[in-house]
Amino acid sequence: MSATEALKNAIRDVADFPKAGIVFKDITPILANAALFRSSIDLLCATSGGQKIDKVVGIDARGFIFASAVADRLGAGFVPVRKKGKLPWKTHQASYSLEYGESIVELHQDAISLGENVLLVDDLLATGGTAAAAVKLLDELGANLIGISFLIELSFLKGREKLTGHPIQSILTY
């Protein structure tokens, strides 16, 4: 079995969570399995294509789990994009609509220096609203966005269309 097949087999589909009509991709069985978690990080790290990455940016909350491990592996810093009201220092904000709701994300104003090479990582690309909001925040800080990497892409939701102009890579596509 290939590494990606093994990861797909471990993902648990949970119907009607957090609301009716959503099939939630539960990645906790991957996290709980040492070999699968390592392989998910291996595959996400490979999306950097060997380019020097200064900061790996992770999106609240499951994105943090993958992005922080990727940052450590790539010898980069980790930067969180958080939901409104969680970051203590001065922030930039961006609002967006989610597959299941509306939200605002924030980034510390001093989190990234002008021209730093950034890899944006999240667990899942659905409608693309969350990642597009994060990209807007990174653009405001003058980050050099090398790529956007997801463990899972729900391609039927066409999230990629909201992220044009940046290389997008997904490990598992549905």
What mask, x for binding ligand AMP by CB under 6 A, covers residues 121 to 160?
A: -xxxxxxxxxx---------------------------x-
Q: Which of 167, 147, 78, 158 is nearest to 125 (CA)?
A: 158
Query: Do residues 131 and 120 touch, judged by C-beta distance below 8 A?
Result: yes
- In the complex, minimum distance from the CB of residue 98 to ligand AMP, in angstroms, rounded to a whole number: 5
Task: Report the distance separating Cα 35 and Cα 78, nearest Å.
Answer: 23
CB nearer to ligand AMP: pick between 127 and 149: 127
CB nearer to ligand AMP: pick between 114 and 156: 156
Angle of helix 62-74 relative to helix 34-46, nearest 10 degrees? 70
Q: Which of residues 14-73 bind ligand AMP (CB under 6 A)?
A: 22-25, 59, 62-63
Is residue 82 part of the annotated active site? The answer reads no
Task: Considering the candidates 5, 12, 99, 153, report the single residue annotated as catalytic.
Answer: 99
Is residue 99 part of the annotated active site? The answer reads yes
Query: What is the widest separation between alpha-carbon atoms in the chain?
Result: 47
- Applying CB under 6 A, the span of 43-51, 85-93, 110-118, 119-127 interacting with ligand AMP comes to 119-127
99: contact with ligand AMP by CB under 6 A: yes
Angle of helix 3-10 relative to helix 34-46, nearest 10 degrees? 120
Residue 27 to residues 13, 14, 18, 33, 148: CA-CA distances in angstroms? 9, 11, 15, 10, 19
**What is the contact surface with ligand AMP in residues (CB under 6 A)?**
22-25, 59, 62-63, 98-99, 122-131, 159
Catalytic machinery residues: 62, 99
